[in-house]
Structure 1
Amino acid sequence: MSILLTHPCPSPTPGGGPLPLTNSLILLGEGRTLGQEMRNKRPHSEEAAQTCFWPIRITSKLPDTMVHFTTEEKAAVASLWAKVNVEVVGGESLARLLIVYPWTQRFFDSFGNLYSESAIMGNPKVKAHGRKVLNSFGNAIEHMDDLKGTFADLSELHCDKLHVDPENFRLLGNMILIVLATHFSKEFTPQMQAAWQKLTNAVANALTHKYH
């Protein structure tokens, strides 16, 4: 469900007053709570400063505690991971993210043609980066008891240098689940889904650890 609201846009220049009211899109995901207050975000580019069209998602942040995985959950995740074609699943997951949530394309300007669904699905840079992203999940599976330590450097990179909205990590995790369910319909039981959902949520939370 999408709700269009208006709010003051932060000033693009230091010391300046707020710009006139402008529209911001707030996406309410199914099953999300409305407890988290919207945060003001300063645009990361001149174009963004002029339009100030920001995707802000109201969501509940995962508790800042260590996530414990049972032996059964670890075994379930590892058993499916052993069958995953990282290039295919990673590429499809990132492509779905760019198609379903098109505002995420602004982080991939160097990827070239992202103007249509077919262009995104066939884009070699999308496939390559998707493989790289999913490989990081392989690293997570090997370090499920220390995800925050494992992703500390990536969290700092995405926060301080790339300025990625942390909600995008959760969105990508959802895309990975959908693609896994598509490729492994029989193996992707509710129990398997629960284990992978727990992992993707924990990875997303670990990636937000360095955010202020």
Structure 2
Amino acid sequence: MLSKKEKKLIKEIWERLTPVAEDIGSDALLRMFASYPGTKTYFSHLDISPGSAHLCSHGKKIVLAIAEGAKDISQLTVTLAPLQTLHAYQLRIDPTNFKVRLGSGWGLWSGSELLSHCMLVTLACYLGSEFTPVAHAAMDKFLSAFAAVLSEKYR
């Protein structure tokens, strides 16, 4: 559960990052594709090479959706409803998880969880010392909630 202070911090971070949404989104996607190559299967119809128009456009859409959700975290389910429907019913993204290596064993993560992890790394790079442990923890909680809400329609 996010505190009022954490919600405010998350909202402020995403408001500040919105002008560079394309850069952050495309960077996070590239990290995901490099770290978890299986995720590329959902983008086979797009040019996902670094700097491509498709990658930049989709990355920007992702960041703007996250920023929109950060405006009022208590309404995340309502805010993400159209995106849930798009992913689950129109794009028919496979609800099964990606099998990835986690430490000494294998684990199952959804595509949203993989992207959330890559987004945290990207935010750390962009924000530098401003990405404090408090900001990191708050953002991790928020992105986990975002991923969970986005995948609700699959369950």
Give how far 1:128 is off: 1.0
Q: Would you say how many aligned residue pairs link Structure 1 and Structure 2?
A: 139
Contact 2:80 2:150 in 1 (8 A): yes
Distance, in Å, in 2 between the alignment partners of 1:90 and 1:209 is 22
1:75 to 2:18 alignment: no
Structure 2 counterparts to residues 142-153 of structure 1, below 5 A: 142-153=71-82
* Equivalences for residues 130-169 of structure 1 within 5 A: 130-166=59-95, 167-169=110-112
Instruction: State the structure with more CA Rg.
Output: 1
The correspondence of residues 26-37 of structure 1 with structure 2, limited to 5 A, is none
Match of 1:19 in 2: none
Report SS of the residue matched to 1:145: helix
Name the % identity. 29
Question: For 2:128, what is the secondary structure of its paired residue?
Answer: coil
- One-letter amino acid of the counterpart of residue 2, structure 2: F
Q: Name stretches of at least 5 consecutive residues in structure 1 with no aligned partner.
A: 1-67, 115-119
Q: Is the 8 A contact 1:148 1:209 kept in 2?
A: no
Moved more, 84-93 or 150-159: 150-159
Q: Deviations over 1:184-203 (max 9, x none)?
A: 11011110001100110000
1:124 pairs with 2:53: yes
Q: Which has the higher contact order (CA 8 A, sep 6+)?
A: 2
TM-score w.r.t. structure 1 length? 0.61
Unaligned runs of at least 5 residues, structure 2: 96-109
The structural deviation recorded for 1:121 is 1.8
- Residue 87 of structure 1 is matched in structure 2 by 22
Cross-structure match for 2:138: 195
Structure with higher helix content: 2
Structure 1 residues 165 and 198: alpha-carbon distance in aligned structure 2, compared to 1, 3 A threshold:
farther
2: CA distance, partners of 1:194 / 1:128: 28
